[in-house]
């Protein structure tokens, strides 16, 4: 199965110049904890998560008027629509991400794949193994 078969296509971006407050409101309204950060052509520049807002924003006493670009995660972890789902799972496990972007050849956002999208495809054992690998970064010794 290919990534384009399971990715969510109706995905909105935030701009690096949007405020953190506006991004948080969008997360609340859309009931998501992850927003791609894109330029005007939808080229992926990074991501903003609810965790970024809490750790780099609130805990650092940044104002809601802070720009997304000041607290976003700049690493772009992505697959291509034509990639096999296993490639997305490998990236998720390797980078410890439960959501990744799906980008076209020009680096523009065309979709999002989450661990739950993979789990719903029926290969529970593989999804569970991917979850285990993603969660390793949070394990405390």
**Nearest Cα to Cα of residue 46 among 76, 8, 23, 25:** 76
85-95 helix and 124-135 helix, angle to the nearest 10 degrees: 20
What is the dihedral angle through the alpha carbons of 76, 111, 124, 33, rounded to the nearest 10 degrees? 70
The residues that bridge with 37 in the sheet, in sequence order, are: 14, 46
Read off the pTM: 0.85
- DSSP conformation class of 12: -
Give domain limits for the chain.
3-136
Domain 3-136 has CATH 1.10.3720.10: no
The helix (H) or strand (E) run that includes residue 27 is: helix 20-30
Summarize pLDDT for 111-132 with one digit per residue, the tens: 999 988 888 876 667 767 777 7
2 in Cβ contact with 82 (< 8 Å): yes
Quick check: 82 and 3 in contact, CB under 8 A?
Answer: yes
Q: Rounded to the nearest 10 degrees, how much is the dihedral formed by the CA atoms of 26, 22, 80, 74?
A: -140
Q: What is the pLDDT of residues 57-112, one digit of tens each?
A: 999 999 999 999 999 999 999 999 999 999 999 999 999 898 999 999 999 999 99
pLDDT at 138 over 70: no
């Amino acid at each position: 199965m290919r990534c384009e078969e399971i990715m969510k296509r109706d995905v909105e971006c935030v701009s690096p110049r949007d405020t953190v407050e506006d991004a948080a409101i969008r997360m609340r309204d859309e009931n998501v904890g992850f927003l791609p950060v894109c330029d005007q052509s939808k080229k992926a520049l990074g991501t903003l998560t609810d965790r970024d807002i809490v750790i780099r924003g609130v805990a650092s006493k940044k104002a809601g008027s802070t720009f997304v670009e000041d607290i976003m995660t700049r690493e772009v972890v992505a697959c291509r629509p034509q990639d096999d789902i296993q490639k997305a799972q490998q990236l998720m496990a390797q980078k410890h991400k439960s959501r990744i972007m799906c980008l076209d050849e020009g680096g523009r956002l065309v979709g999002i794949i989450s661990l739950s999208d993979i789990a719903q495809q029926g290969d529970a054992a593989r999804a569970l193994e991917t979850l285990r690998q993603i969660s390793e970064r949070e394990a405390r010794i």
